[in-house]
Structure 1
Amino acid sequence: MRELKEEEDEQQEQPVYEIALVFPKRGEGVIEDNEGSCDAMEVLVNEFKNVGFLVEIVPGLAHEFIKLAAPLEVIGKAAAELQIRKRTNIGMDLAFEWDQIKAFARQADGSLFSWCERYHCYQHMLSRIVNKSKAAVSLQYDRKNFSWEPWEPLLQRLEKESILKKVYPLHDERKKKSLLRSWALNWWDFTAQPIDDIYLYFGTKIAIYFAFLGMYTRWLLFPAALGIVLRIVDFGSLEFLVLPVFFICIISWAVFFFQFWKRKNYALLARWKISYTVGTGPGYKVFGMDMNSRQHPLEFEKKLEADNVKEKEAYQRDEWTGRLKRIRNDAIVILSIICLQLPFELAYAHLYEKVGSDIIKFGLTAVYLVILQYFTRIGGKVSADLIKNENIENKEYRADSLVYKLFGLYFMQTYIGVFYHALLHRNILTLRKVLIQRLIVSEVFENLLENSLPYFKYSYKKFGAVRYKKKHDKGSSAGKVKVTSRVEKEYLKSAYSASIGGELEDGLFDDFLELALQFGMIMMFACAFPLTFAFAVINNIMEIRTDALKLLVIHKRPVPRAAATIGAWLNIFQFLIVMSICTNCALLVCLYDVEGNWKLEPGLAAILVIEHILLLIKFGFSRIIPEEPAWVRESRVKNATHAQDVSRELLRSISGGENKMSHLEQRE
């Protein structure tokens, strides 16, 4: 049995081409002009082989490609050099050592390293390719000559010379097809997803998103069923109590959902053997060390020693300067929203209310959406520039700061018109029309847009590659010229990037933003139209499959990002719950105060009491339900205790060795 298991593990650890490099097509019949110049492609391939890569050169229509794979031993030694901390079979997290490979736990699929760990190893091995000679090396590529200086990274030099176009991850076709069957095309299980397989293939951040989306969709079934019951059942004399009871149930549901999501988040990290501390903020730290940076404790200790040399005044100056810059930037964004965006949003909402023709309303909405695209782009660029001046060293802090600023823009765009119809005009019928329009038309349009645009871009790039081939190869017929290699097809696909730019966030920004805006829409106006929850369920079931197809088929394989939670979005969801308490209480006032006098009659006073009770529920239940499951906490404490015992044994052995050495020195 053991031999069979070892054979299966070896088969699963067979090298797979996971990294590709893109170079411009060289002209045929190129003659080396300079004597002593080496072909850059040959030098690069030899360097790859010296590092331990398996190399395959693939010619394309307009580019040349190099595919890289690495045997397990090569990846393992790179992981040991990086001192990647991995879970051992006894439950402790220790720096990986290739000689002690059997001591480290394997992934759920039998592989030793996750995709995120392998990607970091690939990056490390690529960065190690430097000119170790004392003299510069003359290189040539397609009649272009340049020098490779001593200790200069070769890939960096090729990028400067515009020879290396791109380095990107490749899809594993075997695992990709398996995920297509069990996930993207599996329509029978509406919310079921192979989360473990998603984690192993895409990394932690994407797996956490789909785990959140699946759980959120399942939990939405309760308020959706409740909203349908309210719509079809006649409660007679108890009709006036229906909406307040529904309101209380919805807020309680939201509070419970996020508390149980935190518990699930802890359980997932424990199951994936990830030693992150779950938190709502960025920079998830364990014992003061930022785990996103994958910094080894010895390096962290050296950094602490260096930091302690600085004076206290310098620390305080940097701290308060950074805080003042963040306050200034936040104020700029808030004032811009109030002075620029708010009047525009109110003008659109007012015109929409006054215009009687549906055709004119449709045209007005189209113009409004086009202008919003420019507003969002300008806001994203301004926010990104402001964040660069905040002196935030941690990349996750910078990303979360950008998320908060941009969500403020989207919040105003999405909800200010709805607030106008609900609270100022108190027109519930128009409010319901706007909600249906936003939940059905807008979300369907956005799904079509985000999936069709990448396909059109891919088709255009493929057409350009075919045209390039026809131009430079006049002897081939039109029917024979087509993209055949998988590596070139993946290169022509668009990257999974955020609409605000890919420096700080990937495509999950847009996916999380869509969920957050939907959550705010159905929660803040739940009493006006309870059926919105049913629309949200249908949309999310479609969203799971379309997002899966988008990642597996439409886009390149994303670069893995380390993330322990949904980050800043959890704070945004919590903020929307508090906002929904206030807005729904105002809606109940509008619904029950028919005369519009806003008098504190017994019914309206009861609504104010409900508001305070729900705020108490929001902040009270979050303390009653523990965020960390008992079994996860027990396992963590047990591992920590075991680690202390092992550390003591190591200290005893070290101290014992030192005593023996000192005793021998005394005898000598």
Structure 2
Amino acid sequence: MNGQEDENEAPFEVAVVVTKREREDGDECYDAVDVLVDQFRKVGLIVDRAVGLQHEFIKLAATLQVLGKAASELQLKKQTHIGVDVQFQWEETGAFVRQIDGSLFSWSERYQCYHHLVYGIVNESDSYIALKYESKELCWNTGESLVRKLETESIVKEIFPLHDEIKRKPLQRTWALNWWDFTEQPLNEIYSYFDTKIAVYFAFLGMYTRWLLFPAAFGLTIQIVDFGALQLLVLPAFFISIVTWAALFFQFWKRKNSALLARWKISHSIGPYPGYKIMDTEDIQIPLEKVEKKGSLKQLNEKELYQREEWSGRLMRFRNDAIIILSIICLQLPFELAYAHLYEKIVSDLLKFGLTAVYLFSIQYFTRLASKISVNMIRKHEKSDNTEYRARSLVYKVFGLYFMQSYIGLFYHILLHRNLRTLRQVLIQRLIVSQVIENLVETSLPYLKYSYRKFGAVRNKKRCDKGATAGKKVSILRVEKDFMKPAYCASIGEGLDDGLFDDLLELALQFGLVMMFACAFPPAFAFAVLNNITEIRTDALKLLVMLRRPVPHASVTIGAWINIFQFLLVVSICTNSLLLACLYDQEGKWKVEPGLAAILIMEHLLLFIKFGFSRLVPEEPAWVRASRMKNAAEAQNRYSQQLLRSISGERKRD
């Protein structure tokens, strides 16, 4: 929907992919796909059918009225003009605030409505309905979802969101291809097109890149300028500055996050899918098989069963944590130490560079494989109270694998060899090689996948036509091009925090690399700035051009990643203190002389500063807090007036 949402101009936003039929015979009145299209029209959807090279596509659009009624059935919670979230009612549309682009529903809310309309088509008759599809005969049973039925029969292949060309092209011009603004981004338009989670990520990336300019300039100054006798004081000053900078950044990011949510009229208490229950009741309910064995629920001691389920879930989580930690210690740690030791023994710089490149390629594959195993193990055997906790658990465990892979070799150079020259070489190579590899892979791999699918589809079309299209250019529908593009998902498992997992992981590993070893190589922050400026545009181009439009997931923060960033900040205080000790203890005797004692005191002081800023800088701007309190007071007054009128009316009737 664009602007004020003209009901007569609803864009196609969702496509249903149907297996292309080899023949068109049969009774069309009972053809499964024709029945599906008729049912889509009966619920009010606007339908357009298109036959592609390999599949048939049913494009769907919906007017504002159809979406509004679906939102009422879903009982979606939306913010009213007094700042209170209540269940949406189509008859009271004027009470609800509109989006920043003037539309009534966000992209996430619209997609939920489409999902409800598509999967809500059920057989309401008293008996089954016989359907046909080529030579197949299907029974659409009473109360069964038609789309679910066709999915199980492999007739409906997939349902995915479509790119909106009216919104996509301006975004591509003003965002993905706009290199002059560096870190400036059209966040409101990004939110309207991709919804909250992706918009919050790019807001974080842009703010982080702007804030990196200070440590980058400071680090380059230290590298270029010779401070002479003051050189021994410059690195501690740089160390104190970057820790203070990072602590301030995280606090001001929380303020910006709150301001963005207020601008977009989003409540902090929003769940992963507004309108759906956050709690996963299937994880805490009493197992049905246990109920059946003992007869009835009344015969069971419910308290004991709930306690048993609770503690079995905790034991499963503990077991998974233990397996992952032991696998890191027994499998990954020796491999990392072997690489670090071999790097120390090789003399040629060219061989060292080649070793680093081969190592990064190989370890990325093995770490990704281990992460997939961890994800599957957690999903199958670990129970949690809600989906948000499960997502955080996945992020923490998988990041632990990547943390070991990325930093253990660098710790080896500090603790055992104390070779700062080698450490600087490894940092430079990793910053260059890893960042270049990541950018090349994430931009070229989707394009190669799309090109391969497109080539295969055209080749099969020409083969089926037996030369009829020889020498002619085969045209491909836009909807089929969207379908051929890869989905935006995590590389270690589809559905894991979407593709943002990879993007935030790359950002966290970079932050740890430049922060934890800042005193060894201060110009590392300049590398990070250049990479992030490129990352903003390449990620934007990837989302707008190379990938399908992502399935929206509403999320008000970057989730568990903010805790990971702050954990890396605490670790960086310890590692940089150790680096300073190595730099100033030239004899290598590890004596706690006055200089080293000063470093230990500085470490404790910086830890105090880090945790002190969380109290000094409020996480919510004053205007956001004042607006929220004003809305709460106004809501209370209105509820009180309504209650008084209700009581007064009852007294009069009595």
- TM-score, length of structure 2 as denominator length: 0.93
Tell me the residue number matched to 2:290: none
How far residue 8 of structure 1 moved from its aligned partner, in angstroms, is 6.3
**1:368 pairs with 359, 363, 369, which one?**
359
Tell me the residue number matched to 1:347: 338
**2:60 pairs with 68, 76, 99, which one?**
68
SS of 2:4's equivalent in the other structure is helix
How far residue 482 of structure 1 moved from its aligned partner, in angstroms, is 2.5
Letter in 1 for 2:329: I
Partners of 2:471 and 2:539 in 1: how far apart?
Answer: 34
Partners of 2:138 and 2:632 in 1: how far apart?
Answer: 54
Partners of 1:296 and 1:391 in 2: how far apart?
Answer: 19
Letter in 2 for 1:134: D
Letter in 1 for 2:74: L
Question: Structure 1 residues 416 and 12, CA, compared in 2 at 3 Å: closer, same or farther?
Answer: farther
Cα shift readout 1:226-276 (whole Å, capped 9, x = no counterpart) = 111112222222111000000000000000000000111111111111112
Number of residue pairs aligned between Structure 1 and Structure 2: 636
SS of 1:166's equivalent in the other structure is strand
How far residue 475 of structure 1 moved from its aligned partner, in angstroms, is 4.8
Conserved 8 A contact 1:269-1:275: yes
Do structure 1's residue 256 and structure 2's residue 251 form an aligned pair?
A: no
Tell me the residue number matched to 2:542: 550
Letter in 1 for 2:342: L
**1:16 pairs with 11, 19, 22, which one?**
11
The more displaced of 483-492 and 466-475 is: 466-475
SS of 1:530's equivalent in the other structure is coil
Tell me the residue number matched to 2:291: none
- In the TM superposition, what are the counterparts of 1:327-406 in structure 2 within 5 Å? 327-388=318-379, 389-406=381-398
Cα shift readout 1:400-448 (whole Å, capped 9, x = no counterpart) = 1111011111011111111112232111111111111111121011110
Tell me the residue number matched to 2:628: 636
Question: Structure 1 residues 13 and 109, CA, compared in 2 at 3 Å: closer, same or farther?
Answer: farther
**1:294 pairs with 251, 254, 274, which one?**
274
How far residue 312 of structure 1 moved from its aligned partner, in angstroms, is 4.8
Tell me the residue number matched to 1:128: 120
Q: Which consecutive unaligned segments of at least 5 residues does structure 1 have? A: 1-6, 278-283, 285-290, 664-668
**1:591 pairs with 539, 561, 583, which one?**
583
- In the TM superposition, what are the counterparts of 1:192-341 in structure 2 within 5 Å? 192-277=184-269, 291-295=271-275, 312-341=303-332
Conserved 8 A contact 2:53-2:476: no
Cα shift readout 1:616-660 (whole Å, capped 9, x = no counterpart) = 111111111111111111111121222222222333344344445
How far residue 12 of structure 1 moved from its aligned partner, in angstroms, is 8.8
How far residue 562 of structure 1 moved from its aligned partner, in angstroms, is 1.6
Partners of 2:612 and 2:70 in 1: how far apart?
Answer: 48
Percentage identity across paired residues of the two chains? 63
**1:42 pairs with 28, 34, 44, which one?**
34
- In the TM superposition, what are the counterparts of 1:524-539 in structure 2 within 5 Å? 524-539=516-531
Conserved 8 A contact 1:87-1:273: yes
Partners of 1:192 and 1:479 in 2: how far apart?
Answer: 47
Cα shift readout 1:191-239 (whole Å, capped 9, x = no counterpart) = 0001111111101110110000000000000000111111222222211
Conserved 8 A contact 2:84-2:635: yes
Tell me the residue number matched to 2:573: 581
SS of 1:168's equivalent in the other structure is strand
Aligned-residue RMSD, C-alpha? 2.2
Partners of 2:103 and 2:409 in 1: how far apart?
Answer: 52
Question: Structure 1 residues 293 and 652, CA, compared in 2 at 3 Å: closer, same or farther?
Answer: farther
Letter in 2 for 1:292: P
SS of 1:140's equivalent in the other structure is strand
Letter in 2 for 1:214: G
Do structure 1's residue 499 and structure 2's residue 491 form an aligned pair?
A: yes
- TM-score, length of structure 1 as denominator length: 0.91
Partners of 1:583 and 1:258 in 2: how far apart?
Answer: 20
Partners of 2:198 and 2:242 in 1: how far apart?
Answer: 28
Conserved 8 A contact 1:483-1:489: no
How far residue 89 of structure 1 moved from its aligned partner, in angstroms, is 2.3
How far residue 153 of structure 1 moved from its aligned partner, in angstroms, is 0.4
Partners of 2:29 and 2:469 in 1: how far apart?
Answer: 37
- In the TM superposition, what are the counterparts of 1:430-449 in structure 2 within 5 Å? 430-449=422-441
Tell me the residue number matched to 2:168: 176
**1:153 pairs with 111, 121, 145, which one?**
145
SS of 2:58's equivalent in the other structure is strand
Q: Which consecutive unaligned segments of at least 5 residues does structure 2 have? A: 287-297
Question: Structure 1 residues 479 and 211, CA, compared in 2 at 3 Å: closer, same or farther?
Answer: farther
Partners of 1:61 and 1:114 in 2: how far apart?
Answer: 33
Partners of 2:181 and 2:646 in 1: how far apart?
Answer: 56
Partners of 2:355 and 2:179 in 1: how far apart?
Answer: 37
Letter in 2 for 1:546: T
How far residue 184 of structure 1 moved from its aligned partner, in angstroms, is 0.6
SS of 2:60's equivalent in the other structure is strand
Do structure 1's residue 480 and structure 2's residue 472 form an aligned pair?
A: yes
Tell me the residue number matched to 1:281: none
Partners of 1:479 and 1:653 in 2: how far apart?
Answer: 79
Cα shift readout 1:527-557 (whole Å, capped 9, x = no counterpart) = 0010000010000000000000000000000
